[in-house]
Structure 1
Amino acid sequence: MGRLGCNLDGNLNDTKFAEPMPWIGIYVAVASSACAVAMAADAIHGFHQRKFWFPCKYFTINATSLTLIGIAIKLSVDLYTSMPGRRDQLTKLSSSVFMCTVMGNSMPSLGTMENKEIFMNIIALGILVFTLIVNICIQLGTGVIYLFWKEHAFVMFLMLVLLVILSFSALTVPCTKRYLELKYNYKYNLAVQEGSNETGIGVVKKLKQDLMKFCMMAHTSSPQFVMGRSVTCTASGALCLLCAMILAEAMLQSFFMPRSFEFCKGESDYKWSTTLVLVTQTIAVGVGTFAPAFRWLQAINFSCPKRGRKSYKDEFRLERYWIQGLVEMKDCPLALRMHDRRLRKLVNDGKKLFLNLCIGIQTGIVFMSKVIRLISIYFASRILICCECFRELNMKFKPNDSISNDSQSESKNGQELDLSRFVLFLEGENALVELMMKKNCSATVQRMHSRKKHQPKHLVKLLEMSTLSMGFKGVKEFDNDEIPSLDSEQPPNCWALPVVTLTSIALILPDINHCSLKQLRHGVTEGLKYVKYIENSLDANGDLRNVRMAADVVWQGVDLYHKWLDVDLRELSLLGKTPEEILEGLADFARNKYMKHKKMHMNVCLKETPGRWPIQILAANSMYRVSKTILRSYESRKGQPITTLFEALVVMISDILGACLTNLLCFIANNCLNSRIEEREESVRQAAYLLGETEQILRMLDKISFPGLIPDQMASINEWRLLHKLNNPFPFSPISQEYDAASSSSHNVFLTIE
């Protein structure tokens, strides 16, 4: 009978039912800790990026976070387990405050979601909130929660208000995205037109000026930033801070004034785990309240009257974008399959009545949010004015040396550009233009300047050995068309695969100085980083995906294990063979590898184009052709030392990398436009980082001329090889013209899409 859960008397044996409860408490604490860590990571990320509106990168409203939240509030929704002690009752309250904190903290993340995703996540969050509120009300009625009932009631009210603010703020996201996207297109046209009219300046300086404009547009139109600077988001920050203060008040009162409460005797089934949950959730509330409270303080700091010069006559005007989406839904006809005209009319009238109610609620939410901001300003203005005076005095006696002279001159140059024209703002945000311009301008300058310390020095030394003035001849010389192919079909080339193949051969050569080999390996590693950026961006259709993957696989083996596929490069180098024997052996091994894998994947190769063959076949084909080409070239020059062969290989590698890096300009131009509005700020920021890192390389390339190819042709190594094969090659043009062509090309592609 014991196996069936009954005791000897036949009654239910419930003595072991409560044993797992402390483990459930640990489970709740772990979920709360995960949320706290994610919110702390967002706060650190905001400080690191100097984004003091704290975007949500790690903790957003999604399926994972909602699951963790559901686990974290387990103790508050537990209807039957008695919670008699002081810590038990506080844990019930901390879970409710934790839910409020989560909603306020993750509000900017709504900007990153698509319409359907917003709807589903808000519905899921609403179910969690209503479940929590209903269960707390039941526990207040049954006596499971017998203390802090005023705090619980107030927190539940704030929880509902936060949910309503979150839900109705989400309605503005599609409208603001659409408006800012159109505005970005117009400003992008203006920036490109202004850039094309500027002459007589270097490409690096021109690129910096353009990136200052693009960074300003991308940052100020970022959906997360738009949501984070909205009045409803700042109001939710004030409410989150109020919830945290309620929890702090309850904890201080219960611990320091215990006589004002009558705690029940006994122990909860959760035992010691309630203390762990309370500590964890208190930390989570403290960490999670930081970002919303800081957004609120930032809004107060800017909106406070500076010595009485601030006017609030337009403060309570309702901006159109708040209700634009609801008005559009109201005017949009319903696609109903109803034959009864009266029923269709009734449904349509009901829809209009409901949407009119929603418009009224939205208007009330915006009005309430502005009232909260004004009340906050009234109480905080005197303190902030004193802080401002102290800051001004401090600036007079303490010079600002945090930015170097170089970045100061760049910042001044950014102000001379009048970047206020490229600040994208919504109705009613005119007063924010100057603030957003100053903060983002300095952030962009520091972003570029900070990356100058990370210049790829090994890659620069490698590029200095290339045949810059001769049009990168190595692009043609690494593969001789007279070499018989292994198959009737020849797979295409990408930029990375010849580089890693040539480097593999160079590392095999015996009697080469170790420092030279180390320098080559580091230079290629740094170069492949930028090659990967370029190829991922410019190969939009994925035609060379397998070829690029073959290069990644080969280089990982060469760099980490000194192996090309299964060939140990160190063993070949130490065997003491002549270069001819090494190259011939590599070619034979590659041919055998090619035939073996071609036979194994015959069905795949017949169905797919050569560019999509398995990576082992592509790598083996590249090694065979390159080895045969180098062998034929070396045999034609008898008596040359092996160091000459090594230097020739290094020049080829440098030429291919140099030719590929001419596409950096096109890559940067593409990143500034051809991305979704949710990802555009990150793309432009990466472009700014890339400019800071590669400034020395771009200056080096700016001294020479390049083939007059359109950007699509510049991106293809096969087009470069075709150019070199022509007896009368295309005319060469300055790099600045290539940048203008890249910008115009990106712009034209976008207009076609529109």
Structure 2
Amino acid sequence: MGILGCDAHGDLNDAEFSKPLPSIGIYVAVASLICGLAMAADLIHGFRHRKFWFPCKFFSLNAISLTFIAVGIKLSVDLNTSMPSRQDQLAKLSSTVFVCTVMGNSMPSLGIMDNNDLLMNLMALGILVITDVVNICIQLGTGAIYVFSEEHFLVVLLMLLMLMILCFSATTVPTTKRILEAKYKKRYDVAMKCPLATERTVAKKIQQDLSKFWMMAHTSSPQFVMARSVTCTASGFFCLLSAITLGEAMVRSYFLRPRSLGFCHGDSDYKWSTSLVLVCQTTAVAIGTIAPAIRWFTAVNFRCPIRGKKYYRDEFRVESYWTLWFSEKKQRPLSLWILKDRRYRKIAHNAKRWILDVCIVMQYVIVFGSKIIRYISVFCVGKILMCCYFVLRTGNTIAHSESEKSDSNPSSRQDLASFVLHLEGEDPLVDVMVRSNREATDHWIANGRKKQPVNLIELLEATAPISKGFEGIAEFDSNKVASLAHGEPPNCWALPLVTLTSIAVALPDVKPSSLKKLLNAVNEALDYVNKFERVLDTGGESANLRKAAEVVWLGVDLYHKWFDVDLRKLSKQQRTPEETLRDLMEIAKKEFSESWQMNLMVCMKHKPSHWPIKTLAANSMYRICQTILLNYESRDYGTGEALLRKLESTISDIVSGCFCNVAQVISVKCLVSAVEVREESVRGAALHLGRTEKILEILERRSLPKLRCDQMKNIDEWRAFYKINPSECNNKSNTVYPESDELRLTVE
């Protein structure tokens, strides 16, 4: 019996070595299919969000995608496995085209990488591409690839060109980010000084500012900057050309004289798996080519003569930002502490300058060549587009007249144009970017309106006639309540809401439908309140309080339990609301004492806001229950339903007070410092405005205390104000948002 690959005579037995190869073929096919699905997800995301430059959200150059790419090119780098049949040779070609496709598809993702990631990912991609090219050349020389030689030569050339384009385009990323970030800050100052329009509602005022911030954030998005560059246009053309090459080879081998190509008989060691690889990689190539092809076609379509504009004067000028990174590196000294001799340091510095000069020349050649490709594309495709234009002239005339009607406010369009952030040589694109994005904010806000918190809106509208102000904020926790320990933790917005709702669940004689509506409304409210507090609590002082609210709400919402106390069981006991409140107060007091004793060192060492979660929750329950009991002496709450109405009013007041910070929250979301996520943040702010627009309308009927923006975000500041000015609790003289610009989007 042979062991370790040897037969019974001790000779090498390699018959078993090829058995795993079909499984490896499946592995290659699955890796290629995963890449194809990720590129398809980016394609769908682009169409769905009307981003026809197709940002890389699911498929980009990173360690994961490079691993899948390395697996996907297994067949094209296999030097010694015989692959005689038609599908074998086509699979080798498809593996090579697959690399071109992923490079063209993922080029915008260069914009979201930092310098270290750019260097490492491009080095890894370069090693992978060079390895693939060398192995293909070896196979062409040895005869392992004996058909489609011309196609392989063309695809290898395209692959090397695309690698050079990617590497040299990456050098502009730090420069363009710096230039556009400086422009963003300047335009932001201008936006803040612009007077508000005549719109009187808060939502409309915020929407006007959001339109400006969206235009600034979108046009300075690093991915969009890369996607609209001339090198990305050329890369899209090369990607399309490589896909056409694969298509030509497949048509020629299957339909046009397949016998003349001289395919050999027999199967490779990969057997049937090569057909699976060919199908998966061809599908991935077809899907992955769509986005680069559309980017190329969009650039060509914009510059076609049918638009009545010609930009040939500056068509071949290479802008300064393309070589600025190399120029800056030339002037910086080398940190060669090993070389002590001045003569060697001078030689090294001169060598560095010479290399950078070569890089500058290559950058000029790449950009100039990309512009030539774009010009030739315009010249060739323009004739086809002109024919289509004249055929569809009538329809275009109607569409043009409709667009003119929609553009009834040219001053607004011109105002937005001043907030388009563009690079040198992109002036002709300003009008295009305004036309394609000026209604984006309205679109996101409209999408947000489809997901409004219906139950919360019903609660606020139902309690609006009862409470014209925010008296519930002042009344939910009385200053007359005795403290359970030395020191008192601050209040946050979420924990009182959770505690009040827990009390409502425990009340006797309450209709299940009323309780269900309240739970749904509070659940929707907490989704916003938690987001607000995370944004506004920059110092993290209320972090433990928020965690306490989340833990308590999990039990109340899912199990109707406050920690281990079954609130529904408590509500079914034949007791009055007052007795139920006393039970809850005693339970909370007991839980507080036990938690305090167990965490005595922590509680004594840290300030109250950093107490354990259970301690904070028990303290909140005790104080709010005792406050309601104190009010029982002066107010007739009556049945459980009557007390529930009061609790709903208090909850509504607290939620309304928290929602008065919408402008500040949106301000922070619009001014995220990281340029890579700013566009997504502004889009989220627009969606958020759409969801809360109805709530803002309801809040405008309430009166607002005279608090500064930095005070309004803290519930204890509201309580301190009402303590000093108790008459302001129900003052109807102020509207919820004053006419001053105090609550406009501001940087603090």
TM-score band (shorter)?
over 0.9
Q: Does 1:215 align with 2:214?
A: yes
SS at match of 2:154: helix
- State the distance in 2 between where 1:364 and 1:564 align: 70
Q: Which residue of 1 aligns with 2:671?
A: 673
Question: Is the 1:580–1:635 contact (alpha carbons within 8 Å) kept by the matching residues of 2?
Answer: no
Q: Which amino acid aligns with 1:615?
A: I
Q: Which amino acid aligns with 1:241?
A: L
Alpha carbons of 1:71 and 1:610: their partners in 2 closer, same or farther (altered >3 Å)? Answer: farther
Alpha carbons of 1:19 and 1:739: their partners in 2 closer, same or farther (altered >3 Å)? Answer: farther
Identical positions, percent: 54
Question: Is the 2:206–2:744 contact (alpha carbons within 8 Å) kept by the matching residues of 1?
Answer: no
Q: Tell which deviates more after alignment, 179-188 or 490-499.
A: 490-499
> How much does 1:313 deviate?
1.4
Q: Tell which deviates more after alignment, 497-506 or 422-431.
A: 497-506
> How much does 1:487 deviate?
2.7
Q: Which amino acid aligns with 1:699?
A: E
Q: Tell which deviates more after alignment, 385-394 or 691-700.
A: 385-394
> How much does 1:743 deviate?
4.1
Q: Does 1:560 align with 2:561?
A: no
Q: Tell which deviates more after alignment, 207-216 or 362-371.
A: 207-216
Q: Which residue of 2 aligns with 1:164?
A: 164
- State the distance in 1 between where 2:593 and 2:3 align: 64
- State the distance in 2 between where 1:468 and 1:268 align: 82
- State the distance in 2 between where 1:555 and 1:390 align: 64
| TM-score normalized with structure 2 length | 0.93
> How much does 1:705 deviate?
4.0
Question: Is the 1:451–1:689 contact (alpha carbons within 8 Å) kept by the matching residues of 2?
Answer: yes
> How much does 1:109 deviate?
0.8
Q: Which amino acid aligns with 1:117?
A: D
Q: Which amino acid aligns with 1:488?
A: H
> How much does 1:345 deviate?
1.0
Q: Which residue of 1 aligns with 2:452?
A: 455
Q: Which amino acid aligns with 1:361?
A: M
> How much does 1:499 deviate?
0.9
Superposed, 1:130-149 pairs within 5 Å as 130-149=130-149
Q: Which amino acid aligns with 2:44?
A: I
Superposed, 1:103-252 pairs within 5 Å as 103-195=103-195, 201-252=200-251
Alpha carbons of 1:283 and 1:590: their partners in 2 closer, same or farther (altered >3 Å)? Answer: farther
Question: Is the 1:414–1:441 contact (alpha carbons within 8 Å) kept by the matching residues of 2?
Answer: no
Question: Is the 1:467–1:651 contact (alpha carbons within 8 Å) kept by the matching residues of 2?
Answer: no
Deviation string for 1:466-524 (max 9, x for gaps)? 58965311112222233333332333322112112211221232322233222212222
Q: Does 1:481 align with 2:479?
A: yes
Q: Which residue of 2 aligns with 1:446?
A: 443
> How much does 1:600 deviate?
4.3
Q: Which residue of 2 aligns with 1:261?
A: 261
Deviation string for 1:656-709 (max 9, x for gaps)? 100000000111122222331111111111111122222222223234442232
Q: Does 1:427 align with 2:424?
A: yes
Question: Is the 1:496–1:551 contact (alpha carbons within 8 Å) kept by the matching residues of 2?
Answer: yes
SS at match of 2:704: strand
Q: Which amino acid aligns with 2:170?
A: A
- State the distance in 1 between where 2:698 and 2:708 align: 21
Superposed, 1:324-723 pairs within 5 Å as 324-337=324-337, 338-396=339-397, 412=409, 415=412, 418-464=415-461, 465-466=463-464, 471-602=469-600, 604-605=602-603, 608-634=606-632, 637=635, 640-723=638-721
- State the distance in 1 between where 2:740 and 2:467 align: 19
Q: Which amino acid aligns with 1:377?
A: V
Q: Tell which deviates more after alignment, 35-44 or 685-694.
A: 685-694
Alpha carbons of 1:714 and 1:156: their partners in 2 closer, same or farther (altered >3 Å)? Answer: same
Q: Which amino acid aligns with 2:582?
A: E
Question: Is the 1:675–1:683 contact (alpha carbons within 8 Å) kept by the matching residues of 2?
Answer: no
Alpha carbons of 1:565 and 1:472: their partners in 2 closer, same or farther (altered >3 Å)? Answer: same
Alpha carbons of 1:85 and 1:585: their partners in 2 closer, same or farther (altered >3 Å)? Answer: farther
Alpha carbons of 1:264 and 1:502: their partners in 2 closer, same or farther (altered >3 Å)? Answer: same
Q: Tell which deviates more after alignment, 294-303 or 256-265.
A: 256-265
Question: Is the 1:215–1:681 contact (alpha carbons within 8 Å) kept by the matching residues of 2?
Answer: yes
SS at match of 2:90: helix
> How much does 1:305 deviate?
0.8
> How much does 1:621 deviate?
2.8
Alpha carbons of 1:399 and 1:297: their partners in 2 closer, same or farther (altered >3 Å)? Answer: closer
Question: Is the 2:497–2:654 contact (alpha carbons within 8 Å) kept by the matching residues of 1?
Answer: yes
Q: Which amino acid aligns with 1:588?
A: E
Q: Tell which deviates more after alignment, 427-436 or 301-310.
A: 301-310
Q: Which residue of 2 aligns with 1:741?
A: 742
Q: Tell which deviates more after alignment, 313-322 or 444-453.
A: 444-453
- State the distance in 2 between where 1:718 and 1:301 align: 58
Q: Tell which deviates more after alignment, 459-468 or 735-744.
A: 735-744
Deviation string for 1:89-117 (max 9, x for gaps)? 11111111111111111111111111121
SS at match of 1:422: coil
Alpha carbons of 1:600 and 1:15: their partners in 2 closer, same or farther (altered >3 Å)? Answer: farther
- State the distance in 2 between where 1:249 and 1:460 align: 60
Q: Tell which deviates more after alignment, 626-635 or 517-526.
A: 626-635
Alpha carbons of 1:699 and 1:392: their partners in 2 closer, same or farther (altered >3 Å)? Answer: farther
Q: Tell which deviates more after alignment, 139-148 or 364-373.
A: 139-148
Q: Tell which deviates more after alignment, 544-553 or 120-129.
A: 544-553
> How much does 1:577 deviate?
3.5
SS at match of 1:483: coil
SS at match of 1:707: coil
Q: Which amino acid aligns with 1:223?
A: P
Alpha carbons of 1:144 and 1:603: their partners in 2 closer, same or farther (altered >3 Å)? Answer: farther
Q: Which residue of 2 aligns with 1:752?
A: none
Deviation string for 1:10-48 (max 9, x for gaps)? 234444333322222222222112111111111111111
| TM-score normalized with structure 1 length | 0.92
Alpha carbons of 1:286 and 1:639: their partners in 2 closer, same or farther (altered >3 Å)? Answer: closer
Question: Is the 1:452–1:693 contact (alpha carbons within 8 Å) kept by the matching residues of 2?
Answer: yes
Q: Which amino acid aligns with 1:425?
A: H
> How much does 1:358 deviate?
0.6
- State the distance in 2 between where 1:234 and 1:438 align: 21
Q: Tell which deviates more after alignment, 5-14 or 38-47.
A: 5-14
Structure 2 gaps of 5+ residues are none
- State the distance in 1 between where 2:59 and 2:517 align: 42
Q: Which amino acid aligns with 1:587?
A: M
SS at match of 2:195: helix
> How much does 1:556 deviate?
2.9
Alpha carbons of 1:536 and 1:357: their partners in 2 closer, same or farther (altered >3 Å)? Answer: same
SS at match of 1:254: helix
Question: Is the 1:479–1:625 contact (alpha carbons within 8 Å) kept by the matching residues of 2?
Answer: yes
SS at match of 1:306: helix
Q: Which amino acid aligns with 1:242?
A: L
SS at match of 2:450: helix
Q: Which amino acid aligns with 2:667?
A: A
Question: Is the 1:723–1:729 contact (alpha carbons within 8 Å) kept by the matching residues of 2?
Answer: no
Q: Which amino acid aligns with 1:239?
A: F
Alpha carbons of 1:688 and 1:345: their partners in 2 closer, same or farther (altered >3 Å)? Answer: same
* RMSD of aligned residue pairs (Cα, Å): 2.7
